[in-house]
Amino acid sequence: MSQTATRLITLIMLLQRQPNQRAADLAAELGISERTVHRYIGMLEEMGIPVYSERGRHGGFSLARGYRMPPLVFTPEEAVTVHLGTSLVSEVWGKLYEEAAHGALAKLENVLPEAQRQEIAWASRALIATNMNRADQVSIMPLLETLRQATQTKQRVRVWYQGRQQPEPEERDLDVYALAYRWGWWYAIGYCHLRQAVRSFRVDRMDQVMLINESAVIPEDFDVYDYLKAEQPPEHSQQLTITMRFQPEGVFLAKYGRSYWQQMEPQADGSLIVTFGAQDMNVAASTIMSYGSLVEVLSPQALRHTLHDWATAVAEQYKNESYHKSE
């Protein structure tokens, strides 16, 4: 559909939503000149769309009372966009909105013209988003449902949350402002009464969630998008920079995971030196241990000591184990 046709449809929708709109306001909304607005009004009248104008201080353009634009006037691209968006809702929210998403798609395809249905059929085959969740959707679905209910009813929740450095879950009361899906995880964002601050909590780290008989206080000026913009993603909250060498026989593993490394420096002996960031010593050591003896940490020295202690403890645990190497 041409840009003019798209703007004409948008103009109808603007007039349908609110009568008596001035040409200057419509021009600003559409990003065009007032002269073009008047030209578009003339085009709508030629098409039989009942547009009239009222003069005076409170006058402007309006649609005739009772007129409604025919439903679902979509371009093929718009129809695909709606299909993709509905499919993502089903994928991200799982059981909570899966049935509603399938129902919406069925209704959409039932009323669209053939050209749009063909576009949707193509998108169903060729434009796929799946397995987006890192956490097990089935296990966290009851938690998400309770948290969603809390945001709807503005009810406080009590959660048992296990942070990275906590051996046991910690009880917290939260006023949940919003649920956000980012970086492959679900987060509950809200006011933590234990810490007395707005925090974000990974839902898969919640052991239990229950509604309590207290109202949640949600500030009117809180903007979840501003909060998310200000919150650093995991890759920007790295406290350590690690340098390590891949042995020549392990270089293929480094290249396979090249997106993890900040720098890669091939060496004359066939080895590869890489640098990467980690949030803390334990995260760094866990990553490095997964490569076994194929890597050697060059810095920081404290990480070498941590790895030595871990490796010694693991060897001690299995020192009495008897086994036979297969030929």
Q: Tell whether the model's pLDDT for residue 234 goes beyond 60.
A: no
pLDDT confidence bin for 238, thresholds 50/70/90: low
d(CA 92, CA 98): 9
* 34 falls within a domain: yes
Q: What is the pTM of this model?
A: 0.65
d(CA 297, CA 274): 10
Q: Where are the beta strands (DSSP E) in the chain?
A: 51-53, 61-63, 155-161, 170-182, 185-192, 197-202, 206-215, 240-246, 263-266, 272-278, 295-299
Least confident of 89-93, 110-114, 178-182, 255-259: 110-114
Confidence at residue 237, expressed as pLDDT on a 0 to 100 scale? 58
Question: CA–CA distance from 134 to each of 27, 185, 202, 326 (Å)?
Answer: 45, 6, 11, 36
Confidence at residue 235, expressed as pLDDT on a 0 to 100 scale? 53
Between 216 and 259, the higher pLDDT residue: 216
| 176 and 223 co-located in one domain | yes
CB-based burial, 243-270: b 16+ in 10 Å, e otherwise: bbbbbeebbeebeeeeeebeeeeeeeee
* 194 falls within a domain: yes
d(CA 80, CA 68): 24
DSSP 167-217: SS-EEEEEEEEEEEEETTEEEEEEEETTTTEEEEEEGGGEEEEEEEEEE--
For residue 155, give its domain range. Answer: 137-231
* 71 falls within a domain: no
Domain count of the fold of the chain: 4
| 189 and 246 co-located in one domain | no
Percentage of the chain beyond pLDDT 70 is: 93
d(CA 293, CA 312): 14
Confidence at residue 129, expressed as pLDDT on a 0 to 100 scale? 84
* 272 falls within a domain: yes
pLDDT confidence bin for 279, thresholds 50/70/90: confident
Cβ–Cβ under 8 Å, residues 67 and 16: yes
- The pLDDT tens digits of the residues spanning 16-53 come to 888 888 899 999 988 899 999 999 999 888 888 888 88
- The pLDDT tens digits of the residues spanning 134-170 come to 777 888 999 999 999 999 999 999 999 998 777 889 9
* 324 falls within a domain: no
pLDDT confidence bin for 10, thresholds 50/70/90: confident
Q: Tell whether the model's pLDDT for residue 295 goes beyond 70.
A: yes
Q: Work out the angle at residue 63's Cα, subtended by the Cα atoms of residues 6 and 66, and round it to the nearest 5 degrees.
A: 115
Sign (positive/negative) of CA torsion 76, 82, 85, 89? Answer: negative
Least confident of 21-30, 53-62, 302-311: 53-62
Confidence at residue 1, expressed as pLDDT on a 0 to 100 scale? 45
Overall average pLDDT of the 102-107 stretch: 83
| 56 and 39 co-located in one domain | yes
| 180 and 223 co-located in one domain | yes
